[in-house]
Structure 1
Amino acid sequence: MTDSATAPAATPDDSLTRRLEEEGEIAADYLEELLDIVDADGDIDIDVDHQRASLAIVAEGSAGRSLQRLVGRDGEVLEALQELTRLAVQTRTGERSRLMLDIAGYRAGRRAELVDVAKEAIARVRATGSKVALDAMNPFERKVVHDAVAAAGLVSDSEGEEPDRHVVIHPAD
């Protein structure tokens, strides 16, 4: 029997991690039902990344190719499924979820592409000393670019209204 007086106190990070793991489990249950409904095969990986639950639906071979329909053109179906999954979690927990969903590696691949786009724009800003505006992007894409710009020591912000919201990269002062 453990004496509670000698057990280490739970930290706020422990509490957050437990809450995010719970979000991940709820989301995984929801997504498993969805996969059954659409008759798609896939495994669901759950993680906690950057203080948010992160789920990935993965499959190999022809099952992986069949998951592409859940990604849709330019990730549109994936974005919708992520929002539905967030709502399912919110319904169960009463808390707004910021979980991230990836299907068939779409977001991972897109992240790599966006980092390359950001690096090219950063190089242009440094070479010219002028700001550079990128094409319109969804919130996930803008976040990836903002992170890459910050890591390079420059400043960026988002301008415009959806669906034309885009990132502008500024030279360092």
Structure 2
Amino acid sequence: MGMPENKNELYNNAKQVLEEILSLMGLTGSVFPSDEFTATDENGEISSIGLNIEGEDLGILIGRRGQTMVALQYIVRLIMAHKMQVQVPIVLDVEGYKQRRCEGLRTLANRLAEQVKTRKAPFTMEPMPAFERRIIHITLADHPDVITESIGAGESRKVVITPKTLPQN
């Protein structure tokens, strides 16, 4: 089986998988499409399907620093790849946590960029997951005064924000 005909087919299959997992976990929640995380590429092909889970007491699905949500997202991706015979990035959000986190990271990135610019000194952020580092990099990609790079390995990877022109000693 190739790429599904439309995003509704992907969404409905992903929703069914996710609802079954929630049921097995003894949790009650509703799954809705998330336009924030649904995307298509330049050819109009689906590049990601965003899903948001809404309900009560779903903090357990988010976990510490979103780690449980990332693990659940991985499981749903594996099941969908097996079921649909195609790799489709599924992006999960729980009660808008990831969306709020993205907005907060964009604000933080801009604030830190201004500090780095003013102090003319690099700033190393705390370790964060790949999707969060990507938000920092994208947010500051066109910033006129700073550059970003990821350093470290595994779960210790972090973003360093550096002035484009460091003072010469």
CA distance in 1 between counterparts of 2:53 and 2:118 reads 41
SS at match of 1:157: strand
SS at match of 2:13: helix
Question: For 1:58, which of 41, 54, 58 is the aligned residue?
Answer: 54
Compare the two structures and name the one with the higher helix fraction. 1
AA paired with 2:151? E
Instruction: Call closer, same or farther: CA 1:32–1:167 in 2, change over 3 Å.
Output: same
CA distance in 1 between counterparts of 2:77 and 2:126 reads 27
AA paired with 2:164? A
Which one has a bigger Cα radius of gyration?
A: 1
What is the match of residue 108 of structure 1? 99
TM-score by length of 1: 0.77
Match runs of 1:45-124 below 5 Å: 45-46=32-33, 47=35, 48-49=38-39, 51-59=47-55, 63=56, 66-124=57-115
SS at match of 2:124: strand
SS at match of 1:136: coil
Identical pairs, percent: 27
Query: Following TM superposition, where does structure 1 have runs of at least 4 consecutive aligned residues deviating by more than 6 angstroms?
Result: none
Unaligned runs of 5+ residues in structure 1 are: 1-15
TM-score by length of 2: 0.79
CA distance in 2 between counterparts of 1:167 and 1:20 reads 33
Contact 2:4-2:10 within 8 A present in 1 as well: no
Cα root mean square deviation, aligned = 2.2
Question: For 1:142, which of 121, 130, 133 is the aligned residue?
Answer: 133
CA distance in 1 between counterparts of 2:69 and 2:160 reads 25
Aligned residues between the structures: 153
Q: Is 2:18 the counterpart of 1:26?
A: no
